Amino acid sequence: MADRLAVTNRTSRRRGTLKRFTTVNNGAVAQTGSRRPAQENRSDTSENRQKRVSLHVENTYRMQPSSEERFSVTKMENLMSEILDSRLKDTTYNGEKCSELAKELVCTIIAKTKEFQWQRYKLVAQVHIGQNDSQAVQVASRCIWDPSLDSYACVSYKNTSLFVVASCYGIYFE
């Protein structure tokens, strides 16, 4: 029995825990104790691993969308016009709140666009807001894309105190 006692003691410092291992004569290593308590809220626990659902998706080998799945410019322009009309009807220009308003409009446009369920399209929305003070503004953009698959919709809105230019780009992701 005495020859089965620990021959050497060593410690292991891995991931913030300190554990003591004992080497027995036959070469087996056994854990004899730990100095620090184990972390309870780890994200890699066995329970969390079991809760994850692995989804395996097969390739479709489609290089182009069907006619129903294409980005529709007219649908998008109508949607953005409705959003801008309903949200900005009684709004006055306020320079401090325009950035928040632009973010809100972008989020609304993207959320409503997802209802169309255009699969494999990446959507990019931009909203420019400025004070309507009889000035001229030109908004331009350049993109590298496939003109047969990708498209964009652009709508402008103007009331007595502000102007808005909203653009949404639909880029097909193969």
H or E element that contains 91:
none
pTM above the 0.85 mark? no
pLDDT tens for residues 81-117?
999 999 999 899 998 999 999 999 999 999 999 999 8
CA separation for the pair 93, 102 (Å, rounded): 12
More confident residue, 20 or 165: 165
In the prediction, which pLDDT does 143 show?
87
In the prediction, which pLDDT does 151 show?
94
Mean pLDDT of 158-171: 94
Measuring CA to CA, how many Å separate 20 from each of 23, 24, 28, 48?
A: 10, 13, 14, 27
- Residues 6 or more apart whose Cβ sits within 8 Å of residue 164: 84, 88, 105, 127, 128, 129, 156, 157, 158
More confident residue, 34 or 140: 140
In the prediction, which pLDDT does 52 show?
72
pLDDT tens for residues 44-90?
555 655 667 778 878 778 788 888 888 999 999 999 999 999 999 98
In the prediction, which pLDDT does 9 show?
46
CA separation for the pair 23, 40 (Å, rounded): 28
More confident residue, 154 or 38: 154
Tokens 């369920």 sit at which residue?
117
More confident residue, 46 or 24: 46
CA separation for the pair 170, 164 (Å, rounded): 20
pLDDT tens for residues 138-148?
888 888 889 99
* Contact status, residue 141 vs residue 111, Cβ threshold 8 Å: no
In the prediction, which pLDDT does 48 show?
59
Tokens 């309903």 sit at which residue?
86
pLDDT over 70 (residue 6): no
Q: What is the 3-state secondary structure (H, E, C) of 109-152?
A: HHHHHHHHCCCCEEEEEEEEEEECCCCCCCCCCCCCCCCCCCEE
Q: What is the 3-state secondary structure (H, E, C) of 53-89?
A: CCCCCCCCCCCCCCHHHCCCHHHHHHHHHHHHHHHHC
pLDDT over 70 (residue 155): yes
